Structure 1
Amino acid sequence: MRLFLLSALVMTAFAANSLLNRAALADGLIDALPFALIRVLAGAVVLALLVRERPRAGRAQWGAAAALTAYLVGFSLAYVALDAGIGALILFGLVQVTMLAGAVVLGERPAPHRWAGAALAMVGLGALLLPGVDAVPDPVAAGLMALAALGWGLYSLAGRGAARPLAMTATNFALAVPMVAALALPGLLSASLSVPGVALAVLSGAVTSGLGYALWYQVLPALGASRAAVAQLSVPVIALAGGVLLLGESLTWASAAASLVVLAGVALAILPGRKSLPRLSGS
């Protein structure tokens, strides 16, 4: 029961990143790039305190930090227009496609069920973009979330097999701070900022990202590969439910059906035949 509760807490924390981003940006409490900067800075501080060691930056670390930056920036910019749950679905589905493509480039031979799952997820994502579904009001926002998915997928590929994943995450967050700052600082003086918006960004960075990752790496070994993969499927579901219940977002029958197709594809891609402990697919 303790493991289940801790796992549920972690998945809720990661889904909350979508809810916090959307709540802050939809109401104009803060602009997207300042939100991303405060989030990564707060996360870097918390992770540094947990790890208690100086970042060690090699070439691979800078590449992973750049991918993390793409995720953070694309994620926040996308949530200016996307609902929390739909954004999480786009992210979650395309991360799996990115990681499948990365595995092929690295010389792996994915099993047929992974190809089928990725194809099914893409069909569901395509359905979300259809005009009658009304799930994605802005194609540019969908493209930005696709950028976030590409970043997180590459970041996950870079971190596979890390001996000390929490220390690696702390280093990458620290290295991502100046990268995000380079994008956010030029417009900071004219940006929209409010105390509630800053508070939501700090909460997203320090608690649902920093502490969330720390707890995830604690429960991951006990979960094992298959149960961890099942747990990951709950993240977009929680985000969808939270968006409807907490943010007043709507979910039509058409978008709900397309969402189920995406989740079915992701489940097919990640559940069977996993030999290594998976990293979180999206947060």
Structure 2
Amino acid sequence: MRLLALTTLTMVAFAANSLLNRAGLAGEHIGPASFALVRVIAGALVLWVLIAVNAKGLPQRRKVDWTAVLSLVVYLVGFSFAYLALDAGLGALILFAVVQVTMFAGAVLAQEVLPTRRWTGMAVSLVGLTILVWPSGGTRMDPTAIVLMVLAAVGWGVYSLVGRRAAAPLTATAWNFVYAAPFVLVASLPFVAAENASAIGVVLAVTSGALTSGLGYALWYRVLPQLGASTGALVQLSVPVIAMLAGVLLLGEVLSLRALLASALVLGGIAIGLLPRR
């Protein structure tokens, strides 16, 4: 029950993170480069302070996990820039579908046991996710944005797979953010000067970095070893559904019949994949 509660809280954090990012960019409160930069700096500062408080002094410098750091950088930068030109629904479909494939591939390579019900659950959830987020009508698909979102998804999938071996989730996440910050800075600098960042946009980015990204990712590193790669990939498909429900409750969006059907398929697929063997 505790694992279920922590996993649910993590998925809510991921959904909130998407909403914050979309609110900042869609509302033109901040640009993608500025959002990514403020996000990683805020996450690094808050997490570093937390581990310093736990250590009751300056924390000991941790060896760089280059796989985790670089995959985090690819995700942060690719995600922000992709949503600048990509339809939100199509972007979510690409992100979570590719994350699913990446993590299932990692599970296969790690020789994790993948029962038939988990493959079935994945297929059902992906069908529901496609129905949920596939844009209606003619939508222009920007090739560059699609490539950026695919890279972001692979980055997040790899980052999640690396997290399975994290002995100290909070410390690992903190140093990953600290080491990722200079790379995000270098990638963002050419674009930041041309962007406008309002106070609202900065607050959204700080909230995303400090809470839904920094603390949310630390919590993800904590629960993922208990879930396994394939289960971790499966439960993340609930994030678009949570984001949709949040939009209904917080933004007054209309819940359509298509959304209800799609949500039932996504959650039903997750339930199938998580069913016990007996």
Q: Same fold (TM over 0.5)?
A: yes
Change (3 A) 1:265 1:74: farther
Distance between the aligned counterparts of 1:205 and 1:125, measured in 2?
Answer: 26
Distance between the aligned counterparts of 2:247 and 2:124, measured in 1?
Answer: 24
Q: Deviations over 1:154-180 (max 9, x none)?
A: 111112132112111111111211221
- For residues 234-245 of structure 1, the aligned pairs below 5 Å read 235-245=239-249
How many residues are matched?
265
Match of 2:203 in 1: 199
Q: Where do 5+ consecutive residues of structure 1 fail to align?
A: 275-283
1:144 to partner: Cα distance: 3.8
1:17 match: secondary structure? helix
1:6 to partner: Cα distance: 7.2
Letter in structure 2 aligned against 1:37: L
1:188 to partner: Cα distance: 1.3
TM-score by length of 1: 0.75
Match of 1:50 in 2: 50
Match of 2:265 among 261, 270, 275: 261
Distance between the aligned counterparts of 1:120 and 1:5, measured in 2?
Answer: 24
Q: Where do 5+ consecutive residues of structure 2 fail to align?
A: 53-58
Q: Deviations over 1:88-111 (max 9, x none)?
A: 565344322211111223344422
Q: Relative to structure 2, which stretch is displaced further, 90-99 or 174-183?
A: 90-99
Note if contact 1:134-1:255 (Cα within 8 Å) is conserved in structure 2: no
Match of 1:118 in 2: 122
Match of 2:56 in 1: none
Q: Higher helix fraction: Structure 1 or Structure 2? A: 2
Distance between the aligned counterparts of 1:109 and 1:90, measured in 2?
Answer: 26
- For residues 31-50 of structure 1, the aligned pairs below 5 Å read 31-50=31-50
- For residues 1-283 of structure 1, the aligned pairs below 5 Å read 10-52=10-52, 53-58=59-64, 61-80=65-84, 81-83=86-88, 88=92, 90-127=94-131, 133-134=136-137, 138=141, 140=143, 141=145, 143-214=147-218, 220=223, 225=227, 235-247=239-251, 252-254=256-258, 256-269=260-273, 271-272=274-275
Distance between the aligned counterparts of 2:35 and 2:61, measured in 1?
Answer: 23
TM-score by length of 2: 0.77
Note if contact 1:89-1:259 (Cα within 8 Å) is conserved in structure 2: no
2:165 match: secondary structure? coil
Letter in structure 2 aligned against 1:56: R
Match of 1:278 in 2: none
1:225 to partner: Cα distance: 4.8
Distance between the aligned counterparts of 2:99 and 2:19, measured in 1?
Answer: 19
Distance between the aligned counterparts of 2:137 and 2:51, measured in 1?
Answer: 44
Change (3 A) 1:70 1:272: farther
